[in-house]
Structure 1
Amino acid sequence: MMISQSRKLIVASSMLACAAPAMAGFEFDLGDGNKLKFGGYIKIDARYVDGDVAYKDFWTGRGTVLQDDKSQFKIFANETRFNTTYIHGDVTGFLEFDLYGGNGNEIISNSYNPRLRHAFIKYQDWLAGQTWTTYMNTSAIPETADFAGATVGLAFIRQGMIRYSNSGFEFAVENPETYAPGVEDPENDNIPDLVAKYTFKDDWGNISASILGRQLNFFNTEDGSEDDDYAVGYSLAGNIKTFGKDDIRFQVHLGETGRYTTVTTSQDVYNNEAEETTAYLVAYRHFWTETMRSTFLYGMAEADGSEDEATQWSVNLFENLTKELAVGFEIGNFEMEPGTGDKGDSYYGQLSVRYVL
């Protein structure tokens, strides 16, 4: 059998590939509807952080507030990833790994373990496996040099699920987990999370509406007994075209969204009941030329019970040197104020180079 290889042209107009499984760069046609694809990218980051929130390779919604300002500089390649797609007629399998698996040693070799990102099977309208939660609108994630984007105000989870899709409607049962720092986890989550989403699409872009229903399980801090509560969250998110190639991306999350939004700024349970969170993110991407663009973004999250708050902003400039090679520089600020009152913030600058395979 003849195997043909075709080099795919990747439009590297987005430095952000956490929003969706990275596109395949090489495709082998095995005949009879069978295909094998390989893809991913190599990304190098140089990052400087200064302030009284401790350094992280990328911001999440919560950090460590220091007594004094500290600064740190690092060069790393952990975001580098690789993936394979297997297609046999109506059945598709997808695997993707990056290098954030830990065990790195900066003293000698800077070795890091692969980490599973996506592993799923698709058949007609059904998906089973690990990938982005159905609650997310991945097209509403801004283009950033920071690996996770603006996690404050962002819906961001990968987990196991079974999902049904039909036109713009999606329904899924997903892996349950109760996130409650400081409260012992009884590990008895026995009802899957339920997510429904509908996405409106047209030439102007898309807007999605999501609803999330969960049972939370935890130990009651007052009497030490096993307890539970129910949580419901809502989301409106979208990516809307404006002028030329520009777009505005936004997300608004209300209700008891817990771990599904803001990447640990708020928790699922506080004072033995579901925590309510208000979070939003807005970003505008402007193209200065056909290959040069900037994104301006702001995100905010606030938890009602714990009174934990966080904000994040950034501005960047990216340029495609070729279709496969892009460089970008970004500056921004992450600020957090836990309900305990230990407020802190740090500024950062990051230079990124990404080569799409």
Structure 2
Amino acid sequence: MFNKKKLLLATGLLAMAGSASAGYEIKLSDNDTITFGGYLKLDARYVDGNINSITNDYWVGAGTVGDISRTSFRATESRINTKYVHGDVTGFIEMDLHGGGGNEIVSNSSNPRLRHAFIKYKNILVGQTWSTFVNTSALAEAADFGGTLNASAFIRQGQVRYTQGNFQVSVENPESDKGDPSQDSMPDVIAKYTFKGDWGNVSVAGLARQLNTVGGNSESAFGYGIAGKINTVGKDDFRFQFHGGETGRYVGVVAARDLVGEEVEETTSFSVAYRHFWSDDVRSTAFFGKTTTEVADSDRRHWGVNIFKNYTKELSFGFEVGNFESADQNADSDYVQFSAKYVL
């Protein structure tokens, strides 16, 4: 029996090497399957202006002000994942190459980075994955990784989540960004309800946290979010997000921080994106996102327009032009980006 399973796995791996389907599932037994997936992606990017994102690769709502004229080629968004299903139990792990650690002189090597690692049993999920606060369907399709990251709910972390129908509630990893995380003894609590139908989906989420300042104070923080994807004409769709309150690190990556000194930051963020299909294999998205804060008085914006073409079901090429801006610093940069993506 053991040799039979080994032969089946080897046969599946050989089929993976010569196949181009989206995801490769290997049936180990009547109750056990293992699936391999991910994609390979190259991004060629040129940025010109007077602010550079702190990642160098995509805009996260903050950067260094100063002249920039930079061309880069990178494949670090590429990722691999594995899913193992045994009856009611699912295990999933995914890694990409945004971990850094390489250099551009010789090898352009890059360290693997954990994205997801979770176990799901019936209605319970434990592990690291997208925060319950996030509605991934509301993210814009973009060549620039994630699109309007400066104004989107975009966070993955360890959590325990319970799902009942369209309702989800979770306790998640606490972190007092720009505060004293050594005193973070209370987990973040998040609840979300998603309305779904043939028309698309809209989610309403709320979060409650305890933040600890560097001065030794404990502050309560509450935030909310409304996000969704609405189907419009044909295959087109409209995606949106609106967030308010003390959302801090949950929205905009580093466009807003949890704490500014001893004060909890108050944030307002919104993003919109419209995707239009010119044909079955050609599509474009126009997007815009903005985050403003009260305490730090920051104003971070990003817009872009792109076009993608699928040459096969798995292979696509894209081109995007856009601008990201720190209006409060009177700084902005234009960018153009080309991408090639092959989905496993």
Among 185, 195, 198, the residue aligned to 1:190? 185
- CA distances 1:184-235 after superposition (whole Å, capped 9, x unpaired): x352101000000000000000000000000001122xxxxx1110000010
Counterpart secondary structure, 1:187:
helix
What's the TM-score once normalised by structure 2's chain length? 0.93
* 1:31 match: 29
Letter in 2 for 1:300: K
Q: Structure 2 matches for 1:207-356, cutoff 5 A?
A: 207-220=202-215, 226-338=216-328, 342-356=329-343
Q: Structure 2 matches for 1:102-181, cutoff 5 A?
A: 102-180=100-178
CA distance in 1, matches of 2:303, 2:337: 14
2:147–2:287 CA contact under 8 A, matched in 1: no
Number of residue pairs the alignment of both structures matches: 330
1:266–1:277 CA contact under 8 A, matched in 2: yes
Are residues 204 and 9 of structure 1, via their aligned partners in 2, closer, same or farther at CA, if it must alter by over 3 Å?
farther
CA distance in 2, matches of 1:302, 1:70: 24
Letter in 2 for 1:81: R
1:287–1:293 CA contact under 8 A, matched in 2: yes
CA distance in 1, matches of 2:337, 2:81: 25
Are residues 202 and 319 of structure 1, via their aligned partners in 2, closer, same or farther at CA, if it must alter by over 3 Å?
same
* 1:57 match: 57
* 2:68 match: 70
Root mean square deviation, CA, Å: 1.3
Counterpart secondary structure, 1:139:
helix
Which structure's residues are more often helix, by fraction? 2
Letter in 2 for 1:187: S
CA distance in 2, matches of 1:332, 1:137: 24
Counterpart secondary structure, 1:152:
helix
* 1:100 match: 98
CA distance in 1, matches of 2:200, 2:146: 23
Name stretches of at least 5 consecutive residues in structure 2 with no aligned partner.
none
Structure 1 residue 8 displacement after superposition: 7.5
Counterpart secondary structure, 2:150:
coil
Work out whether 1:200 is the aligned partner of 2:195: yes
Among 61, 82, 92, the residue aligned to 1:84? 82
CA distance in 1, matches of 2:139, 2:343: 19
Structure 1 residue 30 displacement after superposition: 0.9
Counterpart secondary structure, 2:302:
strand
- CA distances 1:68-114 after superposition (whole Å, capped 9, x unpaired): x3200011100010010111111110010001111111100101111
% identical equivalent positions: 52
1:102–1:113 CA contact under 8 A, matched in 2: yes
Structure 1 residue 295 displacement after superposition: 0.2
CA distance in 1, matches of 2:261, 2:44: 41
CA distance in 2, matches of 1:322, 1:178: 45
1:59–1:148 CA contact under 8 A, matched in 2: no
Name stretches of at least 5 consecutive residues in structure 1 with no aligned partner.
11-24, 221-225
1:65–1:343 CA contact under 8 A, matched in 2: no
Letter in 2 for 1:323: K
1:117–1:131 CA contact under 8 A, matched in 2: yes
Structure 1 residue 271 displacement after superposition: 4.2
